[in-house]
Amino acid sequence: MKTAICAMLGIDFPLIAFTHCADVVVAVTNAGGLGVLGASGRSPAQLDDDLAWIDARVAGRPYGVDIVCPASDTSTTDAADPARMADSVPDGHRHFVNQFLKQHDLPFRHEQKDMNNPMRVDHAMGQQLLDVAFRHPIALVANALGVPPRTMIDTAHSSGVLVAGLVGTARHAVEHVAAGVDFVVAQGTEAGGHTGEISTLVLVPEVIEALRHTRHVPVIAAGGIVTGRQMAAAMALGAEGVWTGSVWLTTAEAETPAATVSRMLEASSTDAVRSRSRTGKPCRQLRSTWTDAWDADASPPPLPMPFQSLLSEPVLRRVDQLAESDSNALACATYFVGQGVGLLRSRRHVRDVINEMLEDFVDAIDGLTATLTD
Protein backbone atom coordinates (compact mmCIF):
# COMPACT_ATOMS: atom_id res chain seq x y z
CA MET A 1 0.00 0.00 0.00
CA LYS A 2 1.57 3.27 -1.10
CA THR A 3 0.77 6.95 -0.80
CA ALA A 4 2.87 10.10 -1.04
CA ILE A 5 3.52 10.01 2.68
CA CYS A 6 5.12 6.57 2.40
CA ALA A 7 7.80 7.89 0.09
CA MET A 8 8.35 10.98 2.25
CA LEU A 9 8.82 8.92 5.42
CA GLY A 10 10.33 5.76 3.92
CA ILE A 11 7.61 3.46 5.23
CA ASP A 12 5.71 0.56 3.65
CA PHE A 13 2.16 1.64 4.49
CA PRO A 14 0.77 4.97 5.71
CA LEU A 15 0.13 4.01 9.33
CA ILE A 16 1.60 6.26 12.01
CA ALA A 17 1.42 5.12 15.63
CA PHE A 18 1.61 7.63 18.46
CA THR A 19 2.60 5.98 21.74
CA HIS A 20 4.38 6.65 25.01
CA CYS A 21 5.96 3.17 24.91
CA ALA A 22 9.32 2.62 23.22
CA ASP A 23 8.39 -1.05 22.66
CA VAL A 24 5.39 -0.03 20.57
CA VAL A 25 7.51 2.39 18.53
CA VAL A 26 9.93 -0.41 17.73
CA ALA A 27 7.19 -2.93 16.86
CA VAL A 28 5.31 -0.56 14.54
CA THR A 29 8.44 0.73 12.83
CA ASN A 30 9.81 -2.77 12.31
CA ALA A 31 6.47 -3.87 10.84
CA GLY A 32 6.69 -1.17 8.16
CA GLY A 33 4.70 1.68 9.70
CA LEU A 34 6.02 4.65 11.64
CA GLY A 35 6.23 4.63 15.42
CA VAL A 36 6.18 8.04 17.09
CA LEU A 37 7.29 8.32 20.71
CA GLY A 38 5.37 10.81 22.87
CA ALA A 39 8.20 12.46 24.80
CA SER A 40 6.25 14.61 27.23
CA GLY A 41 6.58 13.53 30.85
CA ARG A 42 10.14 12.33 30.25
CA SER A 43 13.25 14.15 31.38
CA PRO A 44 15.85 14.90 28.69
CA ALA A 45 18.04 12.09 30.10
CA GLN A 46 15.17 9.58 30.04
CA LEU A 47 14.33 10.55 26.47
CA ASP A 48 17.96 10.10 25.47
CA ASP A 49 17.99 6.59 26.99
CA ASP A 50 14.70 5.62 25.33
CA LEU A 51 15.75 6.83 21.90
CA ALA A 52 19.08 4.98 22.20
CA TRP A 53 17.09 1.85 23.11
CA ILE A 54 14.93 2.33 20.01
CA ASP A 55 17.94 3.05 17.77
CA ALA A 56 19.48 -0.27 18.83
CA ARG A 57 16.36 -2.17 17.73
CA VAL A 58 15.04 -0.65 14.48
CA ALA A 59 18.12 -1.15 12.29
CA GLY A 60 17.85 2.30 10.75
CA ARG A 61 14.13 2.09 10.00
CA PRO A 62 12.31 5.42 10.44
CA TYR A 63 10.57 6.54 13.64
CA GLY A 64 9.50 9.88 15.09
CA VAL A 65 9.17 11.87 18.27
CA ASP A 66 6.22 13.96 19.50
CA ILE A 67 7.13 16.84 21.79
CA VAL A 68 4.84 19.32 23.52
CA CYS A 69 6.60 22.58 22.77
CA PRO A 70 4.53 25.77 22.93
CA ALA A 71 5.67 28.30 20.34
CA SER A 72 5.99 31.15 22.80
CA ASP A 73 7.59 31.56 26.20
CA THR A 74 4.42 32.93 27.80
CA SER A 75 3.81 29.87 29.95
CA THR A 76 7.37 29.67 31.19
CA THR A 77 7.23 32.34 33.86
CA ASP A 78 4.53 30.73 35.94
CA ALA A 79 5.61 27.19 35.21
CA ALA A 80 9.08 28.00 36.47
CA ASP A 81 7.71 29.29 39.77
CA PRO A 82 5.61 26.58 41.42
CA ALA A 83 4.91 28.73 44.49
CA ARG A 84 3.29 31.45 42.39
CA MET A 85 1.28 28.85 40.48
CA ALA A 86 0.02 27.25 43.68
CA ASP A 87 -1.12 30.65 44.95
CA SER A 88 -3.43 30.89 41.95
CA VAL A 89 -5.40 27.78 42.95
CA PRO A 90 -8.54 28.84 44.84
CA ASP A 91 -9.06 27.25 48.26
CA GLY A 92 -12.57 26.24 47.18
CA HIS A 93 -11.12 24.07 44.44
CA ARG A 94 -8.77 22.27 46.84
CA HIS A 95 -11.67 21.84 49.25
CA PHE A 96 -13.72 20.31 46.42
CA VAL A 97 -10.91 17.84 45.70
CA ASN A 98 -10.63 16.82 49.36
CA GLN A 99 -14.40 16.41 49.64
CA PHE A 100 -14.23 14.20 46.57
CA LEU A 101 -11.45 12.06 48.08
CA LYS A 102 -13.47 11.66 51.28
CA GLN A 103 -16.73 10.81 49.50
CA HIS A 104 -14.99 8.17 47.41
CA ASP A 105 -13.15 6.62 50.37
CA LEU A 106 -9.75 7.33 48.89
CA PRO A 107 -7.09 6.99 51.61
CA PHE A 108 -5.21 10.27 51.16
CA ARG A 109 -5.72 14.01 51.02
CA HIS A 110 -4.60 16.67 48.54
CA GLU A 111 -1.97 18.71 50.43
CA GLN A 112 -0.63 22.18 49.66
CA LYS A 113 2.83 20.64 49.15
CA ASP A 114 1.50 18.40 46.38
CA MET A 115 1.35 21.45 44.16
CA ASN A 116 5.10 22.05 44.06
CA ASN A 117 5.96 19.68 41.26
CA PRO A 118 3.89 20.46 38.19
CA MET A 119 4.47 18.61 34.94
CA ARG A 120 6.48 21.09 32.89
CA VAL A 121 4.79 21.86 29.59
CA ASP A 122 6.72 24.90 28.53
CA HIS A 123 8.94 26.14 25.79
CA ALA A 124 12.23 25.68 27.66
CA MET A 125 11.54 22.03 28.52
CA GLY A 126 10.26 21.38 25.00
CA GLN A 127 13.47 22.84 23.60
CA GLN A 128 15.65 20.60 25.80
CA LEU A 129 13.73 17.51 24.68
CA LEU A 130 14.04 18.62 21.07
CA ASP A 131 17.81 19.01 21.42
CA VAL A 132 18.00 15.41 22.65
CA ALA A 133 15.74 14.12 19.87
CA PHE A 134 17.83 15.76 17.14
CA ARG A 135 20.90 13.85 18.35
CA HIS A 136 19.13 10.64 17.27
CA PRO A 137 18.30 9.51 13.71
CA ILE A 138 14.61 10.52 13.91
CA ALA A 139 12.60 10.81 10.70
CA LEU A 140 9.80 12.98 12.08
CA VAL A 141 9.10 15.45 14.81
CA ALA A 142 5.58 16.50 15.76
CA ASN A 143 4.38 19.23 18.07
CA ALA A 144 1.29 18.29 20.03
CA LEU A 145 0.46 21.83 21.13
CA GLY A 146 -0.16 24.49 18.54
CA VAL A 147 1.97 25.68 15.64
CA PRO A 148 5.53 24.29 15.92
CA PRO A 149 8.01 26.97 16.95
CA ARG A 150 10.29 28.39 14.27
CA THR A 151 13.38 26.77 15.79
CA MET A 152 11.75 23.33 15.72
CA ILE A 153 10.98 23.62 12.03
CA ASP A 154 14.37 25.12 11.07
CA THR A 155 16.42 22.61 13.06
CA ALA A 156 14.35 19.72 11.73
CA HIS A 157 14.71 20.79 8.13
CA SER A 158 18.44 21.38 8.41
CA SER A 159 18.70 17.83 9.81
CA GLY A 160 16.52 16.26 7.10
CA VAL A 161 13.74 15.61 9.61
CA LEU A 162 10.09 16.12 8.64
CA VAL A 163 7.74 18.19 10.79
CA ALA A 164 4.10 17.24 11.37
CA GLY A 165 1.49 19.64 12.71
CA LEU A 166 -1.57 18.34 14.59
CA VAL A 167 -4.68 20.44 13.97
CA GLY A 168 -8.30 20.34 15.04
CA THR A 169 -9.69 22.99 12.69
CA ALA A 170 -9.16 24.04 9.07
CA ARG A 171 -7.99 27.48 10.22
CA HIS A 172 -5.22 25.91 12.30
CA ALA A 173 -4.17 23.79 9.32
CA VAL A 174 -3.61 26.91 7.22
CA GLU A 175 -1.52 28.43 10.03
CA HIS A 176 0.61 25.30 10.34
CA VAL A 177 1.29 25.20 6.62
CA ALA A 178 2.21 28.88 6.64
CA ALA A 179 4.67 28.13 9.46
CA GLY A 180 6.35 25.46 7.30
CA VAL A 181 5.16 22.01 8.42
CA ASP A 182 5.70 19.15 5.96
CA PHE A 183 2.36 17.50 6.55
CA VAL A 184 -0.76 18.10 8.56
CA VAL A 185 -2.45 15.64 10.91
CA ALA A 186 -6.16 16.53 10.96
CA GLN A 187 -7.30 15.21 14.32
CA GLY A 188 -11.03 14.82 14.95
CA THR A 189 -12.88 15.24 18.21
CA GLU A 190 -13.04 11.46 18.72
CA ALA A 191 -9.29 11.35 19.44
CA GLY A 192 -7.85 10.75 22.88
CA GLY A 193 -6.06 13.57 24.68
CA HIS A 194 -6.44 17.24 23.81
CA THR A 195 -8.99 17.45 21.08
CA GLY A 196 -11.30 19.88 19.30
CA GLU A 197 -14.99 19.54 18.48
CA ILE A 198 -14.98 18.69 14.76
CA SER A 199 -15.28 15.03 13.81
CA THR A 200 -12.66 13.31 11.67
CA LEU A 201 -15.26 12.64 8.93
CA VAL A 202 -15.85 16.38 8.50
CA LEU A 203 -12.45 17.76 9.50
CA VAL A 204 -10.37 15.82 6.98
CA PRO A 205 -12.22 17.07 3.85
CA GLU A 206 -12.52 20.56 5.37
CA VAL A 207 -8.75 20.71 5.94
CA ILE A 208 -8.00 19.34 2.46
CA GLU A 209 -10.28 21.98 0.96
CA ALA A 210 -8.70 24.78 3.03
CA LEU A 211 -5.20 23.71 1.92
CA ARG A 212 -6.10 23.77 -1.78
CA HIS A 213 -5.00 27.37 -1.86
CA THR A 214 -1.71 26.95 0.04
CA ARG A 215 1.56 25.16 -0.64
CA HIS A 216 0.65 21.48 -1.18
CA VAL A 217 1.16 19.28 1.86
CA PRO A 218 -0.28 15.81 2.52
CA VAL A 219 -3.09 15.51 5.06
CA ILE A 220 -3.13 12.58 7.50
CA ALA A 221 -6.31 11.66 9.37
CA ALA A 222 -6.44 11.11 13.12
CA GLY A 223 -9.17 10.57 15.67
CA GLY A 224 -11.13 7.39 16.34
CA ILE A 225 -9.15 5.19 13.93
CA VAL A 226 -8.45 1.71 15.33
CA THR A 227 -9.44 -0.58 12.41
CA GLY A 228 -8.50 -1.08 8.78
CA ARG A 229 -12.02 -0.21 7.65
CA GLN A 230 -11.69 3.14 9.39
CA MET A 231 -8.28 3.56 7.75
CA ALA A 232 -9.94 3.00 4.37
CA ALA A 233 -12.69 5.46 5.32
CA ALA A 234 -10.14 8.12 6.23
CA MET A 235 -8.33 7.61 2.94
CA ALA A 236 -11.61 7.66 0.99
CA LEU A 237 -11.94 11.21 2.34
CA GLY A 238 -8.63 12.06 0.69
CA ALA A 239 -6.23 11.54 3.60
CA GLU A 240 -2.84 10.15 2.59
CA GLY A 241 -2.63 7.98 5.69
CA VAL A 242 -3.66 7.69 9.31
CA TRP A 243 -2.29 8.72 12.71
CA THR A 244 -3.41 6.37 15.48
CA GLY A 245 -3.05 6.26 19.26
CA SER A 246 -5.70 4.46 21.31
CA VAL A 247 -5.37 1.16 19.47
CA TRP A 248 -1.83 0.66 20.83
CA LEU A 249 -2.77 1.23 24.48
CA THR A 250 -4.22 -2.26 24.89
CA THR A 251 -1.49 -4.13 23.00
CA ALA A 252 0.73 -6.66 24.70
CA GLU A 253 3.73 -4.38 24.10
CA ALA A 254 2.20 -1.33 25.82
CA GLU A 255 3.03 -0.34 29.39
CA THR A 256 -0.57 0.65 30.17
CA PRO A 257 -1.45 -0.61 33.70
CA ALA A 258 -3.22 -3.98 33.50
CA ALA A 259 -6.30 -2.75 35.37
CA THR A 260 -6.65 0.14 32.93
CA VAL A 261 -6.30 -2.20 29.96
CA SER A 262 -9.17 -4.30 31.37
CA ARG A 263 -11.36 -1.22 31.72
CA MET A 264 -10.53 -0.14 28.16
CA LEU A 265 -11.39 -3.55 26.70
CA GLU A 266 -14.78 -3.39 28.45
CA ALA A 267 -15.45 0.26 27.57
CA SER A 268 -17.87 1.53 24.95
CA SER A 269 -17.19 4.71 22.99
CA THR A 270 -19.38 6.66 25.42
CA ASP A 271 -16.82 5.95 28.15
CA ALA A 272 -14.24 8.16 26.41
CA VAL A 273 -15.33 11.59 27.63
CA ARG A 274 -14.03 15.01 26.69
CA SER A 275 -13.33 16.67 30.01
CA ARG A 276 -11.39 19.67 31.36
CA SER A 277 -10.90 17.91 34.69
CA ARG A 278 -7.31 16.82 34.15
CA THR A 279 -5.39 19.53 32.29
CA GLY A 280 -7.83 22.43 32.20
CA LYS A 281 -8.32 22.06 28.43
CA PRO A 282 -10.86 19.69 26.87
CA CYS A 283 -9.09 16.37 26.81
CA ARG A 284 -10.65 13.01 25.91
CA GLN A 285 -10.04 10.29 28.48
CA LEU A 286 -11.55 7.27 30.15
CA ARG A 287 -14.60 8.33 32.13
CA SER A 288 -14.04 7.91 35.87
CA THR A 289 -15.37 9.15 39.19
CA TRP A 290 -12.88 12.04 38.79
CA THR A 291 -14.24 13.18 35.40
CA ASP A 292 -17.82 12.67 36.60
CA ALA A 293 -17.21 14.82 39.69
CA TRP A 294 -15.94 17.77 37.63
CA ASP A 295 -18.76 17.38 35.09
CA ALA A 296 -21.44 17.56 37.79
CA ASP A 297 -23.52 20.73 38.05
CA ALA A 298 -22.29 21.28 41.62
CA SER A 299 -18.58 21.24 40.71
CA PRO A 300 -16.50 24.41 40.42
CA PRO A 301 -15.37 25.12 36.84
CA PRO A 302 -12.02 23.42 36.14
CA LEU A 303 -9.09 25.85 36.28
CA PRO A 304 -7.32 26.92 33.07
CA MET A 305 -4.15 25.12 31.94
CA PRO A 306 -1.68 24.65 33.66
CA PHE A 307 -3.40 25.21 37.04
CA GLN A 308 -5.92 22.35 36.90
CA SER A 309 -2.98 19.91 36.75
CA LEU A 310 -1.90 21.07 40.21
CA LEU A 311 -5.18 19.65 41.48
CA SER A 312 -5.50 16.60 39.23
CA GLU A 313 -2.00 15.19 38.84
CA PRO A 314 -1.24 14.57 42.54
CA VAL A 315 -4.58 12.75 42.83
CA LEU A 316 -4.43 10.81 39.57
CA ARG A 317 -0.82 9.68 40.01
CA ARG A 318 -1.68 8.43 43.49
CA VAL A 319 -4.79 6.53 42.38
CA ASP A 320 -2.76 4.93 39.57
CA GLN A 321 -0.45 3.49 42.26
CA LEU A 322 -3.41 2.27 44.33
CA ALA A 323 -5.62 1.05 41.47
CA GLU A 324 -4.42 -2.55 41.38
CA SER A 325 -5.59 -3.20 44.95
CA ASP A 326 -8.22 -0.51 45.67
CA SER A 327 -11.49 -0.55 43.71
CA ASN A 328 -12.25 3.09 44.57
CA ALA A 329 -8.88 4.11 43.19
CA LEU A 330 -9.49 2.03 40.07
CA ALA A 331 -12.84 3.78 39.54
CA CYS A 332 -11.11 7.16 39.88
CA ALA A 333 -8.17 6.36 37.60
CA THR A 334 -8.38 7.74 34.09
CA TYR A 335 -6.21 7.58 30.98
CA PHE A 336 -6.15 9.55 27.75
CA VAL A 337 -8.02 7.51 25.15
CA GLY A 338 -10.29 8.19 22.16
CA GLN A 339 -13.79 7.01 21.26
CA GLY A 340 -12.20 4.17 19.28
CA VAL A 341 -11.78 2.43 22.66
CA GLY A 342 -15.32 1.14 22.06
CA LEU A 343 -13.98 -1.02 19.24
CA LEU A 344 -11.13 -2.64 21.22
CA ARG A 345 -12.09 -6.05 22.55
CA SER A 346 -8.93 -8.07 23.11
CA ARG A 347 -5.30 -7.69 24.03
CA ARG A 348 -3.21 -8.35 20.92
CA HIS A 349 0.38 -8.01 19.79
CA VAL A 350 1.24 -4.94 17.73
CA ARG A 351 2.10 -7.14 14.77
CA ASP A 352 -1.34 -8.79 14.85
CA VAL A 353 -3.11 -5.44 15.12
CA ILE A 354 -1.24 -4.23 12.03
CA ASN A 355 -1.88 -7.39 10.01
CA GLU A 356 -5.59 -7.21 10.81
CA MET A 357 -5.73 -3.52 9.91
CA LEU A 358 -4.15 -4.17 6.52
CA GLU A 359 -6.51 -7.09 5.81
CA ASP A 360 -9.55 -5.04 6.82
CA PHE A 361 -8.33 -2.17 4.67
CA VAL A 362 -8.33 -4.41 1.61
CA ASP A 363 -11.72 -5.92 2.55
CA ALA A 364 -13.21 -2.44 2.79
CA ILE A 365 -12.01 -1.56 -0.71
CA ASP A 366 -13.31 -4.86 -2.09
CA GLY A 367 -16.70 -4.13 -0.52
CA LEU A 368 -16.83 -0.64 -2.02
CA THR A 369 -15.82 -1.89 -5.44
CA ALA A 370 -18.59 -4.51 -5.27
CA THR A 371 -21.25 -1.79 -4.87
CA LEU A 372 -20.27 -0.49 -8.30
CA THR A 373 -20.37 -3.82 -10.12
CA ASP A 374 -23.32 -5.69 -8.57
Q: Which residue ranges make up the site for a copy of itself (CB under 8 A)?
A: 1-3, 14, 169-171, 188-190, 197-203, 205-206, 209, 223-225, 227, 229-230, 232-238, 268-270, 274, 297, 301, 338-340, 342-343, 362, 364-365, 367-369, 371-372, 374
CB of 269 to a copy of itself, least distance (A): 5
Residue type, position 284, single letter: R
CB nearer a copy of itself, residue 263 or residue 274: 274
CB of 249 to a copy of itself, least distance (A): 15
CB of 250 to a copy of itself, least distance (A): 16
Q: What CA–CA distance (Å, rounded) separates 291 from 261?
A: 18
CB of 170 to a copy of itself, least distance (A): 6
CB nearer a copy of itself, residue 158 or residue 371: 371
CB nearer a copy of itself, residue 132 or residue 173: 173
Listed residue (81, 353, 110) closest to 227, CA to CA: 353
CB nearer a copy of itself, residue 154 or residue 356: 356
Q: What CA–CA distance (Å, rounded) separates 191 from 197?
A: 10
CB nearer a copy of itself, residue 169 or residue 355: 169
CB of 41 to a copy of itself, least distance (A): 27
Listed residue (243, 239, 236, 148) closest to 191, CA to CA: 243
CB nearer a copy of itself, residue 4 or residue 259: 4
CB of 360 to a copy of itself, least distance (A): 10
